[in-house]
A and B are shown apart, each in its own frame.
Chain A
Amino acid sequence: MANILIVEDEYTINELVKRNLQLVGHKCCCVFDGKTALEEMQKDGYDLVILDVMLPVLDGFSLLKQASHTPTIFLTAKDSLTDRIKGFSLGADDYIVKPFEMLELTARVEAVLRRTQKDTKVFELANVRVEFDSHLTYLNGQIVDLTPKEYELLEVLITNRNIALSRDKLLELVWEYDFEGDSRTVDVHIQKLRKKLGWENHIKTVYKLGYRLEVRE
């Protein structure tokens, strides 16, 4: 769980980003203009900043120039190469172009947090404890024997908790893009995970879509 500052002048987008990040367990603070954002960023209490470029009072690029110690992901409609390069050269950790997909946002946020060592290395839910560094999973203190694919599937579910993932998406994320298996492979692995971890009530089947790991925080 990380403390994330969202700087975006559009109320609806700001709210959307906040809701998405809250789903996967982050704590969010929303600001709507460059000046307030600068004040917040200088407070130093954030693990990550999601920053728009076109902002009232002070634009995102200038903002990053003045306060660049916090890991930053640009989230903007400006998709030209020059802007991306500018963003990265100012020290941004990632650059997401609008419109974005929910999973893209959470995945990139997760990646940056992991890189900057601010992410939790342990996840706990209903007697299950997952350690990301060692790839070990415990149930009631006992190591659970998971195959590599099962572990990867578990990690994807945890990273995108509270978000429904389609079978195709899971195939793409866990198995490779070119995997020719059918979606029943996913079903079989989900069944095994539910059984091994005792998560029958936590990994929900979403009608006509796929699966979702539900965590109420």
Chain B
Amino acid sequence: MKRRTFLTTLLLFLLTINLGIMLITIYTYRDTMGQAKERSAAEHYFIASGLLKDITALDNRGADYKQDIAGLAQPYGYLAGNQNAGIALYEADHPVYSNIRGEIMSDFPTPPQNGDRLITLKEQNGNAAVFVTGRLPEPYNDYALLYRSDVSNTLHGWQRMKNTMFTIGLILSGTLAICLLLLLGRLFQPLTDISKTSRRIAEGEYATRLTIKGKDELAEMAGSFNHMADEIERQMEELITTAENKQLFIDNFAHELKTPLTAIYGYAEYLQKASVPEDDRHFALECILSESSRIQTMAYQMMELANLRDDQIQMEPLPVSELFQKVKRAMTPKALEKNIDLLCYCELTKLYGDANLLESLLINLVDNAIKASNEGGPILIKALMDGAVPVVTVEDYGKGIPEEALSMVTQPYYRVEKHRHRRDGGAGLGLAICEQIAARHKAKLSFISSPGNGTTAKITFTTP
């Protein structure tokens, strides 16, 4: 594009300037030569009339002017010679006098009989001359006068002017070409920038941006380009995060699934191939059984998660205190093992939802709270209004969740501290299920936590 614009503009300019110079030179050439011809014609006339007077005078006196014709012409020859010109006189096409240097004009054009004059311009070897021939009036029309004026100087002058003009034209063209190149470079700079930037973005440097200068259309374009780049970068980041999460999920899932499988397979093989004492045998069988039940739990929870996504749930008004009582009854034995008090605080009378699912959600959260709590630490279960919407919270004063893990805890198979959780027998799906249950109730599950001070799990309902 830039190249084409440059070439077209330059070509147009060259054409115009050279055409102009050509026209001017042709015009000046014609003008100069026309002047030279007119001058020569005037000189010819002047000499011819002078000569005619002299001849007439001699003839009237009865003298034989034919004898002395050369003598008559001579002064005019000198006169012309002073002006870088020469004359030649012919009688019946034979030269009788000539002071034209070097050449006797033998092939001079025969002037017409009617008294008109012939004016010709001859150029030879870089020299130019104007020839004027004409006959003397009757009765002396036997005589013809040739006037030759050397116009080489004029021609050279014109040639010099022509050369100068073309040189100037060339210099101008060169200057224009350079200016044009610089100007186009400047004009096309934003386009070059854009193509460079987009190439870098295509190569994966998503953070590359254009610098916006001024407020013209190009700046506007750069603005929208940058906006596009922003969007691309954002979407790429999203894709990468999604891919990473997916990979994490696959890794975790593989780990969760392979660990019990490895144990079951390994201990079975151990029993089959090694001769082991009764104690070891018992231990191996225990392992196989417990790992099998772990896989069973996992399968069950996965089914639950899958069902939660598809099944329609029953929304009905539930008395909150009854719900809390059920949860408390279910979790008290487990809480007692750690000497934990389950405290309920209930401001709400009713919640809309599925009784079984909400119970299972609360049991899960309380179960997690018990696992996180220290010996004897209380757990608070609250139901209250937060502004216009009902909120249920489960608070513990246990070890808390590190900040970087907060956003990940509801991911399936994510474990903040793998070791502890697995010992506690979870399959890594508890909070994923909780989040699904909350989502089915159009509620949001969030966690507020500071390590060492405890965690608050908060279910914010969007419907009253």
Does chain B have a CB within 8 A of A5?
Answer: no
A10 to B261, CA, bound (A): 12
- Which positions 267-287 of chain B face chain A at CB distance < 8 Å? 267, 269-270, 272-275, 280, 283, 287
A32-B419, A56-B417, A102-B266 are contacts. A12–B272 as well, Cβ < 8 Å?
A: no
Q: Is there contact, CB below 8 Å, between A209 and B261? A: no
A16 to B264, CA, bound (A): 10
Least distance between B372 CB and chain A CB atoms (Å):
16
A106 to B257, CA, bound (A): 23
Chain B residues with CB below 8 A from A163, complex form: 273-274
Q: Is there contact, CB below 8 Å, between A19 and B280? A: yes
Q: Is there contact, CB below 8 Å, between B422 and A10? A: yes
Least distance between B427 CB and chain A CB atoms (Å):
14
A10 to B265, CA, bound (A): 15
Cβ contacts A106-124/B at 8 Å (1 or 0 each): 0000000000000000000
Output the nearest chain A residue to B264 by Cβ-Cβ distance: A99
A54 to B266, CA, bound (A): 19
A12-B287, A214-B275 are contacts. A56–B419 as well, Cβ < 8 Å?
A: yes
- Which positions 24-77 of chain A face chain B at CB distance < 8 Å? 32-33, 54-56, 77
Q: Is there contact, CB below 8 Å, between A16 and B254? A: no
Q: Is there contact, CB below 8 Å, between A164 and B272? A: yes
A55 to B415, CA, bound (A): 11
A10-B422, A54-B251 are contacts. A16–B267 as well, Cβ < 8 Å?
A: yes
Chain B residues with CB below 8 A from A78, complex form: 251, 254-255
Output the nearest chain A residue to B417 by Cβ-Cβ distance: A56
A79 to B258, CA, bound (A): 11
Chain B interface residue count, CB cutoff 8 Å, equals 28
Chain A residues with CB below 8 A from B258, complex form: 77, 98-99
Chain A interface residue count, CB cutoff 8 Å, equals 32
A2 to B272, CA, bound (A): 25
A13-B266, A23-B274, A212-B273 are contacts. A33–B291 as well, Cβ < 8 Å?
A: no
Chain B residues with CB below 8 A from A214, complex form: 275
Q: Is there contact, CB below 8 Å, between B272 and A10? A: no
Total residue contacts A-B, CB cutoff 8 A = 84
Least distance between A103 CB and chain B CB atoms (Å):
8
Chain A residues with CB below 8 A from B159, complex form: none
Chain A residues with CB below 8 A from B262, complex form: 13, 16, 77, 98-100
Q: Is there contact, CB below 8 Å, between A162 and B266? A: no
A12-B287, A163-B274 are contacts. A101–B254 as well, Cβ < 8 Å?
A: no
CB-contact partner of B263 in A12, A23, A102, A164, under 8 A = A12
Chain B residues with CB below 8 A from A15, complex form: 283, 287
> How would you classify the secondary structure of chain B's contact residues: helix, strand, loop or mixed?
helix
Q: Is there contact, CB below 8 Å, between B259 and A56? A: no
Does chain B have a CB within 8 A of A20?
Answer: yes
Does chain B have a CB within 8 A of A152?
Answer: no
A19 to B263, CA, bound (A): 12
Q: Is there contact, CB below 8 Å, between A164 and B274? A: yes
Does chain A have a CB within 8 A of B418?
Answer: yes
A127 to B148, CA, bound (A): 143
Output the nearest chain A residue to B420 by Cβ-Cβ distance: A56
Does chain B have a CB within 8 A of A9?
Answer: yes
CB-contact partner of B266 in A9, A16, A165, under 8 A = A16
Output the nearest chain A residue to B288 by Cβ-Cβ distance: A12
A201 to B175, CA, bound (A): 107
Q: Is there contact, CB below 8 Å, between B263 and A16? A: yes
Output the nearest chain B residue to A77 by Cβ-Cβ distance: B258
Least distance between B61 CB and chain A CB atoms (Å):
132
Q: Is there contact, CB below 8 Å, between B418 and A164? A: no
Q: Is there contact, CB below 8 Å, between B265 and A12? A: no
A99 to B269, CA, bound (A): 12
Q: Is there contact, CB below 8 Å, between B270 and A99? A: no
Chain A residues with CB below 8 A from B255, complex form: 54, 77-78
A134 to B418, CA, bound (A): 48
A19 to B274, CA, bound (A): 10
Q: Is there contact, CB below 8 Å, between B419 and A33? A: yes
Least distance between B334 CB and chain A CB atoms (Å):
22
A101 to B422, CA, bound (A): 24
Output the nearest chain A residue to B280 by Cβ-Cβ distance: A19
Chain A residues with CB below 8 A from B270, complex form: 16, 19-20, 102
A148 to B273, CA, bound (A): 26
Cβ contacts B427-457/A at 8 Å (1 or 0 each): 0000000000000000000000000000000
Least distance between B422 CB and chain A CB atoms (Å):
7
Chain A residues with CB below 8 A from B273, complex form: 102, 163-165, 206, 209, 212
Q: Is there contact, CB below 8 Å, between B280 and A98? A: no
Output the nearest chain A residue to B261 by Cβ-Cβ distance: A99
| Among A12, A13, A212: residue with most chain B CB under 10 A | A12
| Among A15, A20, A209: residue with most chain B CB under 10 A | A15
Chain A residues with CB below 8 A from B266, complex form: 13, 16, 20, 99-100, 102
A55 to B417, CA, bound (A): 9
Chain B residues with CB below 8 A from A162, complex form: 274-275
Output the nearest chain A residue to B423 by Cβ-Cβ distance: A11
Least distance between A73 CB and chain B CB atoms (Å):
15
Other A-B contacts than A78-B255, A164-B274, 20 sampled, CB-CB below 8 A, are A9-B419, A10-B422, A13-B262, A13-B263, A15-B287, A16-B267, A16-B287, A33-B419, A55-B418, A77-B254, A77-B255, A77-B262, A99-B262, A101-B269, A162-B275, A163-B274, A164-B272, A204-B275, A212-B274, A212-B275
The 6 closest A-B CB pairs, nearest first, are A99-B262, A77-B258, A164-B273, A98-B262, A16-B266, A56-B419
Show 15 A/B contacts (Cβ-Cβ < 8 Å), sorted by A. Answer: A9-B422, A16-B270, A16-B287, A19-B274, A20-B270, A54-B255, A77-B254, A77-B255, A77-B262, A78-B255, A101-B265, A164-B273, A164-B275, A204-B275, A209-B272
Binding site for A on B (CB under 8 A): 251, 254-255, 257-259, 261-263, 265-267, 269-270, 272-275, 280, 283, 287, 290-291, 417-419, 422-423
